[in-house]
Amino acid sequence: MTLPTSRRHFLQLAGAGLAVASTGVPLPGHAQPAATIAPGPVLLNFNECPYGPSPAAQQAARDSIAGSGRYQFALAGQVRDAVAAQAAVAADHIRLYPGSSEPLNRAATLWTGPQAALVVADPTFETLGDMAKARGAHVQKVPLRADGAHDLRAMAAAAHAQPTGLIYVCNPNNPTGSISPPAELAWLLANKPSATRVLVDEAYLQYSDQPSLIAQVAQRDDLIVLRTFSKLYGMAGLRLGVAAAHPDRLRELARLGDNPLPVPALAAALASLHDPELIPQRRLQNARVRQATIAWLGKRGFSCVPSEANCFVVDVQRDGTAFAKAMADNGVVIGRSWPIWPQRVRVTVGTEEEMAAFRQAFAKVAGVPV
C-alpha cells in the first residue's frame, strides 16, 4: 500500500530513532496535562492535540469498555442528539462517522468524477482532492489569498468555468490555520453554480472565534459541514467525526455503507460535549502558545501566515523539505512543505515544553539565537 505523502515522510523521519528530552516548565493556568508518551522525538507534524482527551472523556472511555461487547446504538443516538442540540439543527441533519475522513471520501465518490470537477484551495487538506483525482475528476486548485484566506470568488469562477460537482473549503484551513471570513463564505453560497455542492470542513473551527455554518444546513440542501473530535477534543486516535447536511444528502452518504461506531469514542465524545469549559479553555491555551511561537519566529525574521488553528505555516527561507529533515535530525518532527510553497513548512502547536524544544531545534537549524 502506498502511504499518503505526509505520513510516508513522517515514517521515514520517525524511523530514524530520534529522541529529545522535554524542556521548560508549563505556564500557570494549564488545566490539561500533556498526554503521557514514551521518550522519542517531539511530534509537531499531524495537528494532533498534545493534551489528549479531557480527564472526563478518558474516564468515560474507560468506563465504557465493559459494555463494549454491545453495539450501543442508543449511546450513538445520545451523541448525535447532543451535537444537534449544540448546533441548533434537527437530529436528522446530523450523522456520525469514525472520523471526518470517511465522509470526505464519500463526498468525493458521490459528487466528483470525469464529468464533475472539484475546486479546492492551494494549499489545503489533500484527502478529498486525492480521492477525486483517483475517480477521474479534474481537481482545480486555486491559490490562497495573500492573507491566507480562500480566494472564494476565484473558486466560484472556476466552478462556473466547467461542470463542477463540489467546492471544498477547509475553514480554518489546513495547513495554514487561516480563516475565510463569514461574509465571503456567504458570497460563495450565493454565487456558486446552483448544481454545485459546497463542503465546508470545520475540523479546526473550535480553535477559532469564527462562527460555524452548521445551522445553515437547515435551510440549504447544497451545503455539507464536517466537524471532528480529533482536534481540539484530543480524540484523533479514538476516531469520531460529524457530517451535518440536509437529510437527502446524508441519505446519499449513507448509501455507501454503514458500520457501528466505536463505543469508547462515543462515550468520550459525550463527556466532552457535556463539558462547557473545555472548548474555551483549550482555545485560549492553544492561542497563547501559538501566538508566542509566531512572535518568537517573527523577531528572528521568519514570517507566518495568520492562523486561528492549532497549526501554522512558517517561511523558512530555504528548501522546506531539507529544513524539516534537519529539524527531525534535531529531535523535532514538523510538517512538510507544499508544491506551491516549497519554502514554507507546517508546524503543529504543541505544549509549552514541546514548543521550547521546537525553538531550540529551529534556532540551531536556522542559525539564529534562541
Q: What DSSP letter does each residue of 186-205 carry, written as one string?
A: HHHHHHS-TT-EEEEE-TTG
Is the pLDDT reported for residue 239 higher than 80?
A: yes
2 pLDDT band, cuts 50/70/90, is very low
Q: Work out the average pLDDT over 288-294.
A: 98
Is the pLDDT reported for residue 104 higher than 70?
A: yes
Is the pLDDT reported for residue 279 higher than 60?
A: yes
pLDDT tens-digit map of 315-358: 999 999 999 999 999 999 999 999 999 999 999 999 999 999 99
Each domain of the chain, given as residue ranges in start order, spans: 5-54+277-366, 57-273
Residue 11 grid coordinates: 515514517
pLDDT at 165: 98
7 pLDDT band, cuts 50/70/90, is very low
pLDDT at 198: 98
Contact 53, 61 (CB under 8 A): yes
pLDDT at 105: 96
155 pLDDT band, cuts 50/70/90, is very high
Amino acid at 141: K
110 pLDDT band, cuts 50/70/90, is very high
pLDDT at 17: 33
Contact 129, 120 (CB under 8 A): yes
More confident residue, 24 or 360: 360
Phi, psi of 206 (to 5 degrees): -70, -15
pLDDT at 22: 34
Peptide linkage before 339 cis (omega within 30 of 0): no
**Alpha-carbon distances, residue 115 vs 66, 119, 142 (angstroms):** 49, 13, 19
pLDDT tens-digit map of 176-205: 999 999 999 999 999 999 999 999 999 999
pLDDT at 139: 98
Q: CA 310 to CA 301: how far, in whole Å?
A: 22
pLDDT at 8: 34
Please measure the distance between the N-terminal and C-terminal CA atoms of the chain and give it in whole angstroms. Answer: 41
Q: CA 129 to CA 49: how far, in whole Å?
A: 25
Q: Vertex 325, ends 320 and 327: CA angle to 5°?
A: 95
Mean pLDDT computed over every residue of the chain: 91
pLDDT at 131: 97
- Bridge pairing between strands 241-244 and 94-97: antiparallel
pLDDT at 346: 98
**Alpha-carbon distances, residue 42 vs 85, 239, 240, 254, 328 (angstroms):** 38, 22, 25, 39, 9
pLDDT at 36: 46
pLDDT at 25: 33
pLDDT at 4: 37
Amino acid at 344: R
Task: Kindly report the pTM of this predicted structure.
Answer: 0.89
Q: What percent of the chain has pLDDT over 90?
A: 89
Among 54, 16, 52, smallest CA distance to 34 is for: 52
- Reduce the DSSP state of residue 142 to 3 states and report it: strand
Q: Which fold has domain 5-54+277-366?
A: Aspartate Aminotransferase, domain 1 (3.90.1150)
Residue 300 grid coordinates: 528572528
pLDDT at 242: 98
Architecture of the CATH domain 57-273: 3-Layer(aba) Sandwich (3.40)
pLDDT at 6: 40
Instruction: Answer whether 5-54+277-366 and 57-273 agree in fold.
Output: no
pLDDT at 27: 36
Residue 327 grid coordinates: 529539524
Q: CA 266 to CA 73: how far, in whole Å?
A: 10
- Bridge pairing between strands 164-170 and 197-201: parallel
Is the pLDDT reported for residue 305 higher than 90?
A: yes
pLDDT tens-digit map of 12-46: 333 333 333 333 333 333 444 444 444 789 999 99
